[in-house]
Structure 1
Amino acid sequence: MRIDKIKIMVVMAKQGLNQLQLAEKTGMSRGNLSTIVNGKRCKVETVIKIATALGVDYSELLEEKEA
């Protein structure tokens, strides 16, 4: 799975969070979070962990599949 960079950045901005703050909320390293935000594939469990920390449904963070 991949997280859509624009979608997660919008949610983070609305909540006034930067990557370091989000990393702390998820228990992940900032470096690991950064690579995921920038397009690296990750497990569904990781997406759920990030979405939970942001208080959104994980599907709101996923990339749209191209037709």
Structure 2
Amino acid sequence: MKLNQNKLLLAMANACITIGELAEKSGVSRPALTKFTTGKSNPKPATLGKLAKALGVKPEELIED
């Protein structure tokens, strides 16, 4: 399961939320989010769930097809 950085960034844009705000809302560290948005790392399934919940989307909307 691989996170699609563009889908994550699009979900953030739709929610009008910054990386800092997403970090606060999801409980995921800002450095980890930066790695996810640049493609340097992929979140574990539980972390992906936290991000999706904070953005108000389903986890499958953030992964590559």
Q: TM-score normalized by structure 2? A: 0.86
Contact 1:2 1:62 (C-alpha < 8 Å) held by counterparts: yes
Counterpart for residue 8 of structure 1? 8
**1:45 shift after superposition:** 0.7
Following superposition of structure 1 onto structure 2, how do residues 1-67 of structure 1 map, counting pairs within 5 Å?
1-39=1-39, 40-64=41-65
Distance 1:44 1:6 in 2: 18
Unpaired segments ≥5 residues, structure 1 = none
Q: Deviations over 1:1-23 (max 9, x none)?
A: 32111111111111111111101
Distance 1:41 1:9 in 2: 14
Root mean square deviation of aligned Cα: 1.1
Contact 1:2 1:36 (C-alpha < 8 Å) held by counterparts: no
Distance 2:24 2:2 in 1: 20
Runs of 4+ in 1 over 2 A off after TM superposition: none
What amino acid does structure 2 have at the position aligned with 1:32? A
